[in-house]
Amino acid sequence: MKKMKYGFCGMLLFGYSQTSFGQVAKLIQQLYEPNDKQVMVAAHRGDWRNAPENSLQAYKLAIAEGVDIVELDLKMSKDSVLVILHDQTLNRSTTGKGKPSDFTLAELKRLNLRDGLGAPTSQRIPTLEDVMLLTKGKVLVNLDHSTPFYKEAFAVLKKTGTLSQALFKSDEHYSILHAMYGSILDSITFMPVVETDYGGNKQMILDYQKHLKPAAVELVFEHDTIDIFKRNEFIKKGGSRIWVNTLWANLCGGHNDDVASVEGKLEESWGWLIARGVNIIQTDRPHELIAYLRKRKLHK
């Protein structure tokens, strides 16, 4: 496939042999196998239950757990450096106040990240470059909130030699995204986010599959009766894996992490989705999900 070929060429272009790139080379190959029965696991904001979200420590723990993908959220500092932070403000997850875009990187680096209970920790806000160097050759990286920053992220990925292991994403329609970034779209690995409750539809997916051959399609649906999910076979036929987030009930028709890990109903959560073709799951419970998949021989 076009993208898979680019990925391996990219490894050589940026100074890697397939051998030295190791684990990530296998994951890139697996990503482009839409009918693979093995389920890939993405850790949302890293292993944030055991470390501050979007921290280097959270990503290290997720990698140690054996995840295939880590997710991060992009923001821009005042001096135009991409940093990793979920919210529009610093208030909740750091010891700072205000928008990250109002602070230079040096000022942001003086802040401490808070843990899940709100207590300050020794962890600092990482840059995209920090995370890409940490994950280099180890796992794939899901670039969330990246639509405004494709060109800046592209430059960081080229600099660090990690372009082939990063997954760009957007909920914009193809025509809009092409108008914004047509010059680089053929050089990235891409996944459209299709929010079925807010206008995302089958034609949106078909347009992307025609023009970009996305590695995966992220489906977001509040009700599991939504037609686009019930009849999703066309997505794999078009060459893309099916990605679902099990973070909260309204993202996955109620088949979320807590149904599995708190209520103990594994087959009504992750199992239900897998039975309907999902083969990438983004989770807040990477340890529990990997254990479940390995018991079913669905994760290596």
Q: How far is CA 300 from CA 21, 31, 103, 266, in A?
A: 18, 14, 42, 19
Residues sharing a CB contact under 8 Å with residue 149, sequence separation 6 or more, in sequence order: 74, 76, 82
List, by residue number, the catalytic residues.
Answer: 44, 86
The amino acid present at 134, given as its one-letter code, is L
Q: How many CB atoms lie within 10 A of CB 64?
A: 10
Between CA 85 and CA 108 the distance in angstroms is 11
Tokens of 27: 């994951």
CA-based Rg of the chain, rounded to a whole angstrom? 18
Cα separation values, 25 from 3, 44, 152, 166, Å: 13, 22, 24, 12
Report yes or no: 161 and 188 within 8 Å, Cβ to Cβ: no
Is residue 192 within 8 Å of 220, Cβ to Cβ? Answer: no
Residues in the chain: 300
Contact status, residue 94 vs residue 84, Cβ threshold 8 Å: no
